[in-house]
Structure formats: C-alpha cells, structure tokens
C-alpha cells in the first residue's frame, strides 16, 4: 500500500486541479524506515543513505552512486569532480540553452562558465550539430540534458567529447528509467546527475544522486559533498555541504522498491496521451518516441506550431481554467533569465530554445493520473481548438 500525497510548493494543489501536475509516492516500507531512523537518533548520513546508494547503483547498472542533497548539487558536484582531472576555475562546460535554470546555476556554483548551445525543438535536446563550434581551448566537458525524460543524441555527443578529450556529464534529472539504444540513461557518460525532487519517479522529497563507473570520480564526489574532506578531518578540496540525510534516504529506498510500477504507469500515460494528440498534430509539437529509445516520462510537453490561430497564453489559460495544471516549458537560460545577463547574450541568439519557451508548456502524466484523466485532457484540448475555429 502506498501513501500518495501532493506537495503544494512546486507541485500541485490537488483540491484546485482535476489533473494536477505532480505527485509523491511514499510507501509503507519508507514510513517504517523513517520511524526506525528516528528511534536510532542517527539522522544524518548513515546506513540508510548507504543502502539507498547501493540500490540506486544496482538499478541503473553502474558501480557507484553518491547521494547528495539536491539535483542541483548533483550537477554541481559532478562538474567539480573535473578539477581532479586537470580542469581549472573559469574553464567552460557546454550545456543546452533550454533547461531548468539549475543546469546553468550548477555549472557556475562549481566555478565553471556555462557555454550555451541551442536545442532541437522536436526533441528538446542539445543540437549536436552546433556543439563543436562552441568548443574552445578552455572547454572541459559537455553536459547534455535529457529534458522531459527524452534521451539526448548521445552517440553524437559522446563522439564529439571523445574527439576533443572532453568529459560527458549527463543531466538526467528528469530521465529516470529512460533508455538509449538498449542502454540505461545515466550509464552513457562519465557521470550522470539525477534529481530526486518530489515530482520525479524516484524521490527522496528533496535530494540528488550522481552515478559513475569510475571509482576515482566517486571518491571525489564523496569528498566534495562533505566540504572536501578526506579521512577523518583533512580538507583537500574546496567542497560543498551537500549530504543526504537518513529520512530522505528512507523515502528513496521505498521508491526504488516500486520504481518499475511507477515507470510503467508513467510510460502507459505518456504513450496514451501521445496517441490522443495525433489528431492535433497540425497545431502542436509533442515528443515522439523513436525505435532506438525509451522515454523515462517526467511530464508531457506541448509546443505550439508556427502560425497557429491562437497564442500560448490563450491555450494555457483555457486548460488551466478547465482544471489542468501546467508549467512553462522552461526558458532559454542565457537570453530569457535576467540573472544570466552578465554573459552578454541577446534575444535571438538561441532561436530554438526561445521558441520552445515562448510557445511551450508541459502537463503531468504521473502515476496518480488515470486514463480517464487523459481522456479529459484530450477533450479539453479538442474543445479549445473548436473554439478557435
């Protein structure tokens, strides 16, 4: 039996929406572990964090997993590992222009400069054809984002990275359970960073984890999450305070136990809604699942095509008024987030990312949504289009 609860800060008010954006699954097993952790009076990183790491690594078929306090920290620590491999502060890491702002923030927090590359609006992923032009003598890594759980073009990205002797850090925040050419997302680069925030398939409520097959990188990650400590009290690196606690790990262990149930439900919902949107393809771009991949569904993105007879604001207002919760399809970080004005980029520099943001939204397809809810979504969209003639 699962205890399922919404989380109003960042997810959804279930009383307000017929189809809320997100949900949380907390199992009875997790609740029992939480009580045991409290009774032990050892709540900081301990045996449950270690168990969570071991289970997560086994689930994704890698040797090492290092649990941290957020998905942003997972990205930042993975970047900071590169200092152990010759990188210097002020070096560059290539990232897609369209992503949750944490992707760029994490690069900066680690002491690097994010170099943004435009995306492909059909896949939401970084455009491999534009990566090499962004590489400079100071480039140390590429961090592709598997946005909405759709795998980035990893063959091309890894090929470019190997050609230029760069590291690949997968931002797999939204891609739990995704696959690319028979391999699990998270096992294709040098490291992969996952968010364990409440809206994701595996959650610790707040949290993150980095996975890798490289023991040296894993050791660096364990040091970095605890102020750069090595041994009992020696500080060799400029580190972070980014440890996961026992209560969060208990929730995560419970989620790992029902991971396949959640993934299957979300994939059912994704494929069902993709099919429901086929009659609307004249008006919208939605993600497609290619034969070589499996999407690990986070949410369902909807982008207006050019020259449709309505605006995104009109569409979003209509579905929200009908009780369908939505979020903007992120932003072009370098040109649509004022905090990145220091980079000197201007509107039009990343036209595809800007188009996706200006014309895109996304809605929930999580495990608490049933097929009747998706039928309702399709009906609302159909009614909207009829209202526009």
pLDDT band at 90 (very low <50, low <70, confident <90, very high): very high
Rounded to the nearest 10°, the torsion over CA 281, 284, 287, 290 is 30
pTM comes to 0.94
pLDDT in tens, 205-216: 999 999 999 999
Give the number of other Cβ atoms within 10 Å of residue 237's Cβ. Answer: 17
Q: Is the pLDDT of residue 54 over 70?
A: yes
Per-residue model confidence (pLDDT) at position 27: 84
Per-residue model confidence (pLDDT) at position 28: 86
How large is the average pLDDT for residues 76-81?
Answer: 98
pLDDT in tens, 263-288: 999 999 999 999 999 999 999 999 99
Q: What percent of the chain has a predicted confidence (pLDDT) above 90?
A: 88
Q: What percent of the chain has a predicted confidence (pLDDT) above 70?
A: 96
Domains of the chain, by residue range, sit at 25-257, 260-387
Q: Which residue has the higher pLDDT, 197 or 6?
A: 197
Q: Is the pLDDT of residue 128 over 70?
A: yes
pLDDT in tens, 91-127: 999 999 999 999 999 999 999 999 999 999 999 999 9
How large is the average pLDDT for residues 28-42?
Answer: 82
pLDDT band at 14 (very low <50, low <70, confident <90, very high): low
Give the number of other Cβ atoms within 10 Å of residue 296's Cβ. Answer: 26
How large is the average pLDDT for residues 5-10?
Answer: 38
CA distances from 345 to 325, 336, 351 (A): 32, 10, 12
Please give the CATH number for the structural domain made up of 260-387: 3.90.1150.10
Per-residue model confidence (pLDDT) at position 9: 36
Per-residue model confidence (pLDDT) at position 13: 57
Mean pLDDT of the chain: 94
Q: 335-342: which pairs have CB atoms within 8 A and are 24 or more residues apart?
A: 335/97, 337/101, 337/104, 339/101, 340/104
Q: Is the pLDDT of residue 45 over 80?
A: no
Classify residue 253 as exposed, middle or buried by CB count within 10 Å of its CB (0-12, 13-18, 19+): buried
Q: Which CATH architecture has domain 25-257?
A: 3-Layer(aba) Sandwich (3.40)
Q: Is the pLDDT of residue 2 over 60?
A: no
Task: Return the residue matching tokens 């998706």.
Answer: 374
């Amino acid at each position: 039996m699962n205890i399922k609860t919404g989380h109003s800060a960042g997810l959804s008010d279930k009383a307000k929406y017929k189809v809320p954006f997100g949900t949380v699954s907390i199992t009875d097993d997790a609740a029992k572990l939480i009580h045991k952790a409290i009774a032990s009076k050892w709540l900081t990183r301990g045996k449950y964090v270690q168990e969570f790491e071991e289970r997560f690594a086994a689930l994704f078929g890698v040797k090492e997993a290092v649990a941290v306090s957020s998905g942003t920290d997972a990205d930042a620590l993975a970047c900071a590992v590169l200092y152990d491999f010759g990188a210097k502060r002020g070096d560059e890491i290539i990232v897609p222009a369209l992503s949750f702002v944490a992707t760029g923030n994490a690069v900066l927090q680690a002491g690097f400069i994010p170099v943004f590359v435009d995306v492909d609006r059909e896949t939401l992923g970084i455009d491999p054809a534009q990566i090499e032009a962004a590489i400079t003598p100071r480039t140390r890594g590429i961090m592709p984002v598997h946005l909405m759980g759709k795998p980035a073009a990893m063959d091309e990205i890894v090929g470019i990275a190997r050609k230029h002797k760069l590291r690949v850090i997968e931002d797999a925040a939204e891609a739990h359970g995704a696959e690319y050419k028979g391999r699990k997302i998270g096992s294709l680069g040098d490291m992969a960073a996952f968010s364990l925030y409440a809206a994701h398939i595996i959650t610790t409520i707040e949290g993150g984890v980095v996975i890798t097959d490289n023991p040296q990188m894993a050791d660096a990650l364990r040091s970095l999450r605890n102020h750069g400590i090595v041994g009992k009290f020696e500080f060799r690196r400029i580190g972070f305070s980014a440890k996961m606690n026992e209560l969060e790990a208990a929730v995560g262990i419970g989620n790992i136990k029902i991971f396949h149930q959640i993934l299957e439900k979300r994939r059912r919902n994704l494929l069902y809604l993709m099919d429901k949107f086929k009659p609307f393809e004249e008006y919208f771009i939605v993600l497609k699942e290619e034969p070589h991949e499996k999407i690990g569904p986070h949410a369902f993105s909807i982008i207006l095509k050019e020259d449709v007879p309505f605006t995104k604001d009109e569409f979003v207002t209509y579905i929200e008024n009908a009780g369908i919760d939505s979020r903007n399809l992120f932003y072009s970080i370098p040109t649509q987030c004022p905090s990145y004005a220091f980079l000197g980029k201007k509107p039009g520099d990343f036209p595809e990312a800007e188009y996706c943001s200006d014309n895109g939204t996304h809605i929930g397809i999580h495990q608490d949504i049933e097929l009747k809810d998706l039928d309702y979504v399709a009906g609302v969209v159909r009614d909207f289009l009829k209202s526009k003639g």
